[in-house]
Amino acid sequence: MSDDEPTERPSLEAVTEWDGGITWFAHPEEDAMRGSQALATESGVWVVDPLDADGLDDRLSDLGEVAGVVVIHDRHTRDAEAIAARHDVAVHVPDWMDLAREKLDDDPEPLEATLPGTNYEIHRLIDTDEWEEAVLVDEAGGTLVVMETLGTLPGFCEGDNDIGVHPALDETPESLADYHPERILVGHGESIYEDGATKLAAAIDAD
């Protein structure tokens, strides 16, 4: 599900508020249901793997001042640079994610263990020649951000499960079993806002 092709800027309509940020769909009608996230933290708002839309800046300002834009999956460079430029902030990428860096026009700021000034830790999930993905984990806040490996579309989910593993993956990354979140923010489909640990465990068991 590559989505680093440029798209026209739509009107922002499909937005979900949750305790700690917002999730939005710039193109809610598309089959891939590409979701984007904004995390409201003490250091400001961090925008994750974003797709742009008219009205987005107003929704971000309701959360606070934008501190940065972060890309955590190599095929989700999306509209990161355009949004960062409007807010006069940098695009940030985990320091080991070479594929994502190559897809950006300018050199991003490297990230190491955390999003600066936040409780979000950065962990390596997949690191191959074809797929680079990090996850963001706020253990105290109960939030796990997994923008590609997990999704809630029918193609991801087994049986009656609410969330599942990307169909292109032969194996579930073992490290996902280490997390016990209340909410799971994903990049394809509606995010999970409650009982995330139980639903994640079911997804891992089903794979």
In whole angstroms, give the CA distance from residue 40 to residue 19.
9
Domains of the chain (ranges; CATH) run: 14-206 (3.60.15.10)
Question: Tokens in use for 135?
Answer: 């996850």
- Contact (CB, 8 A) for 173 and 157: no
What Å distances lie between residue 109 and 9, 116, 122, 133, CA to CA? 25, 11, 14, 16
Say what the pLDDT of residue 1 is: 43
In whole angstroms, give the CA distance from residue 177 to residue 135.
13
Rounded mean pLDDT, 111-120: 96
Say what the pLDDT of residue 71 is: 98
pLDDT for 89 beyond 90: yes
Say what the pLDDT of residue 161 is: 96
pLDDT for 43 beyond 70: yes
Say what the pLDDT of residue 191 is: 97
In whole angstroms, give the CA distance from residue 181 to residue 87.
30
SS3 32: coil
For the chain, state the CA radius of gyration. 16
Each residue's pLDDT tens digit, 64-84: 999 999 999 999 999 999 999
In whole angstroms, give the CA distance from residue 149 to residue 168.
9
pLDDT for 6 beyond 70: no
Rounded mean pLDDT, 94-116: 96
Task: Give the chain's length.
Answer: 207
Say what the pLDDT of residue 9 is: 65
Each residue's pLDDT tens digit, 162-200: 999 999 998 899 999 999 999 999 999 999 999 999 999
> Of the candidates 68, 63, 3, which has an alpha carbon nearest to the alpha carbon of residue 35?
3
Global model pTM greater than 0.85: yes
Model confidence band, residue 12 (pLDDT cutoffs 50, 70, 90): confident
